Amino acid sequence: MIKNIVFDMGKVLVDYVADASCRHFMTDEAQIREVCTSVFISPEWVLLDMGVIGEEEALERMLSRLSTDHAKEMAALCFWHWHEYNMWPMEGMGELVTALKERGLKIYLCSNASIRLLTCYKEVIPAIHLFDGVLFSAEVRCMKPQKEIYERLFTRFSLKPEECYFIDDQRLNIESAARCGMEGYVYDGDRKKLIVKLSQVLGLELG
């Protein structure tokens, strides 16, 4: 019996656009691409999510790839302010979380995210006050699809994998969670389809 719903964050509860902060501070398309690639589509971004590098060191490495002082200045600006521009709540997901909670489900978050999110996640995740637990990859120094992050989730919140249902936008993450005993659903952005699936899985009327 499913008692817990585990949500991913990006592209599930929260929309994320990597170059949004770049577009806020810059207009030149070539420079936007250069800065976005150096900062947000970089090895350091993954290392930040894994929690194995600090922000200052990550930024220093990112800036080293840029060719002009202006590009470096813009990259630093985008890096320190990305959380203000790159994320916003997905439409209707707060209502879904509320409906699940009202029907007795416990709600958890398991997301690949850097330590920065610990300072601001309450501002962007819909219905965050209803969540029973939050786990970010950088906290535990492992990330999806590694099995270790699911094991940390189960241990931290005393969950049984077979009583959890996972919603993530990446098939690889759903498959790795299933190997740990937690079944799930690959979310493609169609909230109506998700509600139908959850209604079937839970045996409840949600929509």
Map residue 140 onto helix, strand or coil.
helix
Q: Which of 10, 207, 12, 198 is nearest to 105 (CA)?
A: 198
pLDDT at 205: 86
- d(CA 24, CA 74) in angstroms, rounded, equals 10
Fill in the amino acid letter for 56. E
In the prediction, which pLDDT does 125 show? 97
Tokens coding 160 = 């049984």
Secondary structure letter of residue 41 according to DSSP = S
The pLDDT assigned to 206 comes to 86
Confidence at residue 31, expressed as pLDDT on a 0 to 100 scale: 96
From the CB of residue 205, how many other CB atoms can be counted at a distance below 10 Å?
A: 9
pLDDT one-digit tens code per residue, 38-74: 999 999 999 999 999 999 999 999 999 999 999 999 9
pLDDT at 62: 98
Report the chain's mean pLDDT, rounded to a whole number: 97
- Return the amino acid letter for 190: D
User: Pairing between strand 183-186 and 106-111?
Assistant: unpaired
Beta bridge partners of 185: 167
Please give the Cα distance from 13 to 128 (Å, whole number): 10
Here the tokens at position 152 are 């940390």
Q: What is the number of helices (H) and of strands (E) in the chain?
A: 11, 7
The tens digit of pLDDT for each residue in 108-140 reads 999 999 999 999 999 999 999 999 999 999 999
Other C-beta atoms closer than 10 Å to the C-beta of 120 total 12
174, amino acid identity: I
CA-to-CA distance for 165 and 177, rounded, in angstroms? 9
Share of the chain above pLDDT 70, in %: 100
pLDDT at 53: 97
SS3 111: strand
Q: Is-contact 12 168, C-beta < 8 A?
A: yes
